[in-house]
Chains A and B, each alone.
Chain A
Amino acid sequence: MKAIYKKEIRSYFTSVLGYLFIGFLLFVIGLYFTAYNLNYAYPEIGYTLSSSIFVFLIIVPILTMKIMADERRLKTDQMLLTAPVRNTDIIIGKYLALLTVFLLPVILCCIYPVILSSFGSVNFKMSYTAILGFFLFGALALAIGMFISSLTESQVIAAVLSFALLLIMFMMNGITSFISGTAFASLVGLILILIIIGYILYHMTQNYILAAGVSAIGAIICIILYVIDSSKFAGKLTNILSVLNVTEKFSNFAGGTFDVTGVVYYLSLTSLFLFLTIQAIQKRRWS
């Protein structure tokens, strides 16, 4: 794990990628910091951070696109996977390297409240809660990017897919408000989701009986429940989709409230994507 961590860190700082990520992140945060906190003398850093999270859409795919895809393209994964190291260690080593690169600008952000405090009173607790939320949010985005990178051999595809997935998550707030809350709409939506799950299952296992079975059984259960009591379905789809609403949880942190469910939410989603990355590596050996 340590060997891979060191190798990744090295590769980020010998190539332009690491500097690009850190520089761009600091540039955007600095821009909003100057505008909101310095020009308008607004004492909360959370406002600045929530304005600058859109930058993850661009820089996370740039940082993560080659992390797994390139190993596969250059066949260097043969060295990693035949070394006496567990797959989990490989993934965690790589992820920790990503986190380290991300942690540097986050630590620099921690200076901002101190700077602000020299001009007036600043609520440090609220400010650092916002920075923690920012870090957790970024950590999740990086895990998503790494997972996508493990699915393909091409950096470009990895970057575009990561961007698309992150974009959908960013827009989930808007999407859920568009969806009609009626019971029937929810039923249709749920069946659609089950079909998508079935497709993903088929893609991962190549077993169409399992995939079709899961989708069909899920759909039948939904329809039966709907026939029995359709009122329960009202608003269900929006509830389910809001799981993917990553920005909403962040806005709590940005507002300065330490949200335990938010911490759990980010940590569990991050671990889920790490788990999926490990599975994607394992799966490749079997196909």
Chain B
Amino acid sequence: MIEVKNLVKKYGNHLAVDHLDFTVEKGQIYGFLGPNGAGKSTTMNIITGYISATEGQVLINGHDIFEEPENAKKAIGYLPEIPPLYMDMTSKEYLQFAAELKKIPKDQRKRMINEVMELTKIDSVKDRLIKNLSKGYRQRVGLAQAILGYPEIIILDEPTVGLDPKQIIEIRDLIKELSKKHTVILSSHILSEVSALCDHVLIISNGKLVASDTPEHLGELMAGSNTVVLTVKGSTEKIKSVLNSINEIRDYQITKSMESGSKDIKIQMKSQTDIREKLFFTFAEQRCPILMMDSTKISLEDVFLELTSKEQINEEIPENLQEEVEVKVEEEEQNESNL
């Protein structure tokens, strides 16, 4: 469907995209994930033919975007980071223009525009000038433009930025709906969005592809140890002595909880074994009630942070951090008792 081969984009001496290679298969949702300035938008702009690459090749259904731009662009609907809207048009006029620009046959235009407006729920604002629309509606008009003509590939650059939570959920549902018939590529720096939506995640950092897999696989890759999060009532010393008595624990962090007199504990286990029961009974013996317990797998967030900041992190830092946290907790405890 889309083949990106050895893609390089240089701005002067700055390497925005650094030898990127990947393929996009039909009928899946792909997520570009990366911190700001990682080269997500640049890559998307190259794939859609807006800017050219310094080196490398992009094939859309076998058509080179640089050699046969018209054939390649026909298969793509694109919503850039800033929706390309003409402020002095009404939503409907704008979609009519987009339909004509995309060379949709005249007899299908009206039907398609109505369908797309219904899908993106902009029916109610179709006769309002775009400059008078709110950000959420503008985003939806932009999205309507991208899916107009039902291109095989829909590319969305940060489609949910600046929307309120309800709108985000609506747009996500729409994207899921679209993925039934289309291949969707979206970029985001919001991890929960990518892990909730995408079948396949491409993590980009400094223009390089650092990981490409399903969200589950990426999680497992990093796993090896499971994490349990607890809220326990009791003093730090007591909790520490309990935790030290359990062999399966590799590492733990204690922080002050929102509830007074209790602590939040994050425990990392050595193996995959489930120690929740053991935790329950040991804490119960020491008369430290467990107020909350949750077992979490390594989230995509951890993977993301690990992969995009590999250079800065070494093994010493987490331990130091942990000590700092403990010191802080103790100080706070003292303050509390002083009060």
CA distance A14 to B76 in the complex (A): 31
Chain B proximity mask over A119-160: 1 for CB below 8 Å, otherwise 0: 000000000000000000000000000000000000000000
Determine if A11 is an interface residue (Cβ-Cβ < 8 Å). yes
Closest chain B CB from A20 CB (angstroms): 15
Determine if B103 is an interface residue (Cβ-Cβ < 8 Å). yes
Determine if B70 is an interface residue (Cβ-Cβ < 8 Å). yes
**Centre residue among A4, A81, A286 by max chain B CB count within 10 A:** A81
Contact across chains for A7 and B52 when beta carbons are under 8 A apart: no
Contact across chains for A82 and B102 when beta carbons are under 8 A apart: no
Give the residues from 33 to 92 in chain A that come closer than 8 angstroms, CB to CB, to chain B: 74-86
Q: Which of B83-91, B201-209, B247-255, B303-311 contacts A (4 or more CB under 8 A)?
A: B83-91
Determine if A6 is an interface residue (Cβ-Cβ < 8 Å). yes
Of chain A, the residue at the smallest CB distance from B145 is: A79
Of chain A, the residue at the smallest CB distance from B103 is: A84
Determine if B100 is an interface residue (Cβ-Cβ < 8 Å). yes
Closest chain A CB from B68 CB (angstroms): 10
Closest chain B CB from A5 CB (angstroms): 10
Q: Find chain B residues with CB under 8 A from A80 CB.
A: 101
Closest chain A CB from B12 CB (angstroms): 9
Determine if A232 is an interface residue (Cβ-Cβ < 8 Å). no
Tell whether A75 pairs with B73 under 8 Å between CB atoms, given A2-B100, A4-B101.
no
CA distance A86 to B49 in the complex (A): 12
Q: Tally of A-B residue pairs with Cβ under 8 A?
A: 67
Tell whether A78 pairs with B100 under 8 Å between CB atoms, given A285-B50, A285-B51.
no
Q: Find chain A residues with CB under 8 A from B135 CB.
A: none
Tell whether A79 pairs with B84 under 8 Å between CB atoms, given A7-B97, A84-B103, A285-B50.
yes
Closest chain B CB from A2 CB (angstroms): 7
Closest chain B CB from A68 CB (angstroms): 14
Number of interface residues of A (CB under 8 A): 24
Contact across chains for B100 and A76 when beta carbons are under 8 A apart: no
Q: Find chain A residues with CB under 8 A from B100 CB.
A: 2-3, 6
Determine if B227 is an interface residue (Cβ-Cβ < 8 Å). no
Closest chain A CB from B201 CB (angstroms): 24
| Selected contact of A84 from candidates B73, B84, B85, B89, CB within 8 Å | B73
Determine if B82 is an interface residue (Cβ-Cβ < 8 Å). yes
CA distance A69 to B73 in the complex (A): 24
Q: What would 19 A/B residue contacts be, using CB atoms closer than 8 Å?
A: A2-B100, A3-B97, A7-B86, A7-B97, A74-B87, A75-B84, A76-B85, A76-B86, A77-B84, A78-B84, A80-B101, A81-B49, A82-B48, A82-B78, A84-B69, A84-B70, A84-B73, A84-B74, A286-B51
